[in-house]
Structure 1
Amino acid sequence: MKFSRGTNYALHTILHLALKVDNNKPIGVQQLAEQQSVSSTYLSKILAKLVKEGLVVSISGANGGYSLGHNWESISFLNIIHAIEGKASLFECHFNHGSGCLIEQVMSSAEKKMEEELLNTTISDVIKGKDTALY
């Protein structure tokens, strides 16, 4: 199982914005892109998805850029992953077993446990008490 690079960039972008949330200044896409060594065009597409889901706020104008909203502390890893990857299940049985497929039951149960962990872990949880210099 592997998440896309887009999810990786989205998670790191939101973490970066959360670490800068105290200064209340939006951060431009160019600065965010340089911080992650990714093209600003590619990161703009990721940011558009995050804005659409209400996870990031876009501020236009000369001093514009991106920032987190007022309730940023409640943004979970699952919220970010769903914004980029969508909400489709990781596993689909391609046989006609219906809902009684034993393999699909195991895979579905495992996915639910993973989603629960990702839902219960917020960006705020990650930065509390951590050495963010390692970021």
Structure 2
Amino acid sequence: MLSNTCKYAIRALIYLGKFSDGEGTKIGIKKISNDLSIPTPFLGKILQNLVKQKVLVSTKGPNGGFGLGKEKSEISLYEIVSIIDGEDFFKNCLISMEPCSTHHEQGQPCPVHKSFSEVREKLSIFYSETTLERIIDDMAGHEDLIKM
């Protein structure tokens, strides 16, 4: 359901949340790229997008790199997905490529509209309530999932 770009963004944010501290420590893009096995140019575009949205901060130069722009408890999966994949992820119809409201307003909801609306609402709540801090706290024994 999530794009690979979005999964890379989540993995990079988990990595930064785990290894950069609130003291202003930054991690270089090459280190992140190597540790997560994500191509550096592609990762750079993802991280710069997150910098523009103030989720990350970056510093140029020999001691530069990336760090979190907010507290881990303030960064939700919903925010990450909305930035990378757009809010359509939480609004689009299961069958059509448009928001369900497009068809529903015309009196023609899709055949799975009612059932999927309930699932979509639960997904929205899950993504909103799941923060970077929570993910990192629950990672014990699962560090291999982001190849640190």
What is the TM-score normalised by the length of structure 2? 0.78
2:136 match? 127
2:82 match? 82
Matched, 1:55 2:55: yes
- State the shift of 1:70 in Å: 4.0
1:29-52 deviation per Cα after TM superposition (whole angstroms, max 9, x unaligned): 111111111210000111122112
Q: Contact 2:55–2:70 (CA<8 Å) still a contact in 1? A: no
1:16 match? 15
1:70-128 deviation per Cα after TM superposition (whole angstroms, max 9, x unaligned): 42321011111111101112326659853342632332332121011011011101222
Residue segments in structure 1 that go unaligned for 5+ positions in a row: none
Q: Contact 1:55–1:72 (CA<8 Å) still a contact in 2? A: no
- State the shift of 1:65 in Å: 0.8
1:98 match? 104
Gap change, CA 1:38 and 1:21, over 3 Å in 2: closer
Q: Contact 1:27–1:66 (CA<8 Å) still a contact in 2? A: yes
**How much identity, in percent, do the aligned residues show?**
26
Q: Distance in 2 between matches of 1:5 and 1:67?
A: 21
Residue segments in structure 2 that go unaligned for 5+ positions in a row: none
RMSD over equivalenced CA pairs, Å:
2.4
Matched, 1:108 2:117: yes
Aligned pairs, how many? Answer: 134
Matched residue type, 1:65: G
